[in-house]
Amino acid sequence: MSAHREEIWVPGMPEPISHFVHVVRAGRLVFVSGCVARDAEGRTVGSGDIVAQARQVHENLKACLTAAGATFADVCKVTVFLTRIGDREAVNTVRQEYFGASRPASTLIEISRLVSDDLMIEIEATAVLPEPRSAGAARRATAKARPVAKTRGGVKARAGTAARRGTVRGRRR
């Protein structure tokens, strides 16, 4: 994996209010800065409405992921910041609409305030881009070659056979 780092400015996203960028891609890793319920002009969407804000946040996440070549299916981890923990269920319903069958690892944190009093939710995400097809094909070919592994008794067995079953020459280890 290449260790290069690329900053991605996402069209349609509000201008950052501090010294950060919307997305950083490092090799196959994609880091999405916390997205809030703001439109391209920086106006809050859905003031006082957690469902409307959650939808805008997910739309902003989608724009960021797309700009990096990723989708919600590539997201491995999200961190959700809520000003009211009681809004969790409504946010999860919206999240399921965007993630579908994919389930990222997730951390939920209740905080007293976001960058603006009218914001109720912020979500940051980490994704991993799929491997190029040629690398994946090479990995699958290597996996079929089943390497030889040493067992406890010093007897060698192919990985995935006796070593996996816990037996060596017919006896339990």
Lowest model confidence (mean pLDDT) among 47-51, 58-62, 84-88, 135-139: 135-139
Residue 71, domain extent: 5-130
Cβ burial 30-51 (10 Å sphere, 16+ → b, else e): bbbbbbbbbeeeeebbbeeebe
pLDDT score for 136: 52
Instruction: Please indicate, yes or no, whether residues 120 and 162 belong to a single structural domain of this protein.
Output: no
CA–CA separation, 140 and 134 (whole Å): 10
| 156, 112: one domain | no
pTM, entire model: 0.75
Task: Reduce the DSSP state of residue 86 to 3 states and report it.
Answer: helix
Domain count, the chain: 2
For CA atoms 84, 88, 89, 90, the dihedral sign is positive
Question: Torsion over CA of 127, 131, 133 and 136, rounded to 10 degrees?
Answer: -130
What confidence tier does 146 reach under pLDDT thresholds 50, 70, 90? very low
| CATH value at residue 100 | 3.30.1330.40
Q: Burial code of 74-100, b = ≥16 C-beta within 10 A, e = fewer?
A: bbeebebbbbeeebeebbeebbeebbe
User: Over 80: is that where the pLDDT of 168 sits?
Assistant: no
Whether 100 and 119 share a structural domain: yes
pLDDT (tens digit per residue) in 68-86: 999 999 999 999 999 999 9
**Percent over 70 (pLDDT), the chain:** 75
pLDDT tens, position by position, 25-50: 999 999 999 999 999 999 999 999 99
Residues 97, 47, single domain; the answer is: yes
Residues 110, 145, single domain; the answer is no
